[in-house]
């Protein structure tokens, strides 16, 4: 896969580039927001690892311009420690996921894998870990046992399957489940997600909670 690393800290950038190259990706590096923006305008990448604190135009602006051009590249935002606002701002601007510095190589590799897996074409059947999903028949089996889902849980599952590795905010979830309910409070969404989690959790798939924001379908145990 083709990956662009946007990071002005040369030590960290070298580390990320070498980890990604070792994993077999074609990696390019931009040390400034301006360079990143011009590369992103001309070239296409599967994934952008984007530091928000850059010397000229910041990562948020790079991200905003990228999404304004309707690029579907995955974006993993790197934020400073405890910068919750940056996290939320990045996700609002269309980042797929974020990592808070400092992070471990293992964590970085896992997030990159999850994001690169997300470009899965729509399929009629899915087999993920111990779970089989028949989209057309709306049937789910966990370790070969049928699981009954309510229409809302089914809609949630479909939403997650369409956007693996993508953080969904509660408002995005509410919007897509809106047709069932006039009002869907954040608490109601939590209830639906936790029921879905308990019904399919045995399959080894994970719906991660992104605190204060929403949920991430994290794929399955490898």
The count of residues interacting with Ca ion (CB under 5 A) is 3
Print the binding letters for residues 2-21 with Ca ion: x by CB under 5 A, - otherwise: ------x-------------
Among 13, 25, 48, 51, binds Ca ion (CB under 5 A): 51
- Quote the least distance from Cβ 76 to Ca ion, whole Å: 14
Is the CB of 6 or the CB of 73 nearer to Ca ion? 6
- Quote the least distance from Cβ 78 to Ca ion, whole Å: 8
- Quote the least distance from Cβ 19 to Ca ion, whole Å: 18
Q: How far apart are CA 153 and CA 135, in angstroms?
A: 13
37 binding Ca ion? (CB under 5 A): no
Find tokens 């990604």 and name the residue. 20
53 binding Ca ion? (CB under 5 A): yes
Is the CB of 51 or the CB of 132 nearer to Ca ion? 51
Q: Taking contact as CB under 5 A, which single stretch among the options 53-61, 104-112, 181-189, 212-220 is the one that binds Ca ion?
A: 53-61
| Ramachandran bin of 172, using left for φ above 0, alpha for ψ from -120 to 50, beta for the remaining angles | alpha
Which parts of this chain interact with Ca ion (CB under 5 A)?
8, 51, 53
């Amino acid at each position: 896969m083709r990956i662009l690393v946007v990071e002005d800290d040369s030590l960290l950038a070298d580390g990320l580039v070498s980890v990604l190259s070792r994993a077999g990706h074609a990696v390019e590096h931009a040390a400034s927001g301006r360079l990143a923006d011009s590369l992103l305008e001309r070239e296409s990448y599967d994934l952008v690892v984007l530091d928000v604190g850059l010397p000229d135009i910041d990562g948020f602006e790079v991200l905003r311009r990228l999404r304004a051009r309707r690029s579907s590249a995955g974006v993993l935002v790197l934020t400073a420690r405890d910068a919750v606002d940056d996290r939320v701002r990045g996700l609002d601007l269309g980042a797929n996921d974020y990592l808070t510095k400092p992070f471990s190589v293992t964590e970085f590799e896992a997030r990159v894998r999850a994001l690169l897996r997300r470009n899965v074409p729509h399929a009629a059947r899915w087999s993920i870990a111990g779970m089989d999903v028949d989209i057309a028949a709306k049937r789910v089996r966990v370790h070969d046992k049928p699981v009954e889902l309510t229409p809302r849980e089914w809609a949630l599952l479909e939403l997650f399957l369409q956007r693996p590795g993508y953080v969904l905010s509660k408002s995005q979830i509410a919007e897509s489940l809106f047709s069932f309910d006039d009002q869907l409070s954040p608490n109601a969404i939590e209830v639906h997600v936790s029921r879905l989690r308990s019904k399919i959790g045995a399959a080894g798939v994970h719906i991660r909670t992104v605190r204060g924001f929403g949920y991430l379908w994290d794929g399955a145990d490898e």
